Structure formats: C-alpha cells, structure tokens
C-alpha cells in the first residue's frame, strides 16, 4: 500500500486549472516536455492524478541526443550497405573468433 508523504491543498482557478507544486512536478518528472497527468475518478469519490510521461522514465536514455546521434550513424551505415550480417549465432561467434585471432 502507498504511503501519503504530506497533505496539500491546491486552489483551483476559475477555468479549472490546478497548479502542482514545483517539487512534486520535478519528483514525478512532470516538468519534462510533453508530460501529462492521467485523471482517474473512482466510484468512492476519490480523484487520482497519475503522472503520464510521453516516454517511460526507464526508456528515456534512448531519446537522449547522444544516443539518437549514434542511431543516425548506424542508420547511415545500413543505408550504405556497410554492415555484415550472419545467418546464425554460431556464424557470428565464428566471425568474432576469426577477428580475435588476427
């Protein structure tokens, strides 16, 4: 079961806007571009807010500029047919063995 760390009361502006405190936004990565909050209205009258990131936090490394640059480099090598493929794992391992012996 989850633990409540602190009770907070937030004012709702006339247009229904609710501003989350900066520490809460940072902790749940809601300060990231494209971040959203999923709203769940339960049958017992409780309204839940769930952070919803456009990219899950455990996959954000893939979308860093450094990683994307490397992806573009690989795509360029593939487009130029500068890659070597193997039909099986054994063929790949044999190729590595030959390279290590050189």
Which pLDDT belongs to residue 8?
A: 87
Domain boundaries, the chain: 1-54, 64-101
Q: How far apart are CA 35 and CA 49, in angstroms?
A: 13
Burial of 5-32, coded b for 16+ CB within 10 Å and e otherwise, reads: eeeeeeeeeeeeeeebeeebbeebebee
Which pLDDT belongs to residue 75?
A: 96
Which pLDDT belongs to residue 3?
A: 63
- pLDDT tens, N- to C-terminus, the chain (102 residues): 466 677 889 999 999 999 999 999 998 889 888 889 999 999 999 999 999 877 777 888 898 899 999 999 999 999 999 999 999 999 999 999 999 999
Please state which architecture CATH assigns to domain 1-54: Ribbon (2.10)
Asked if 10 contacts 19 with a C-beta cutoff of 8 angstroms, the reply is yes
Which pLDDT belongs to residue 50?
A: 92
């Amino acid at each position: 079961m989850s633990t409540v760390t602190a009770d907070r009361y937030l004012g709702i502006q006339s247009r229904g806007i609710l501003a989350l405190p900066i520490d809460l936004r940072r902790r749940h990565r809601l300060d990231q571009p494209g971040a959203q909050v999923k709203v769940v209205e339960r049958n017992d009258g409780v309204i839940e807010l769930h952070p919803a990131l456009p990219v899950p936090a455990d996959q954000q490394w893939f979308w860093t500029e450094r990683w994307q640059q490397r992806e573009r480099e690989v795509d360029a090598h593939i487009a130029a047919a500068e890659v070597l493929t193997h039909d099986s794992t054994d063929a790949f391992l044999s190729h590595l063995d030959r390279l290590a012996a050189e």
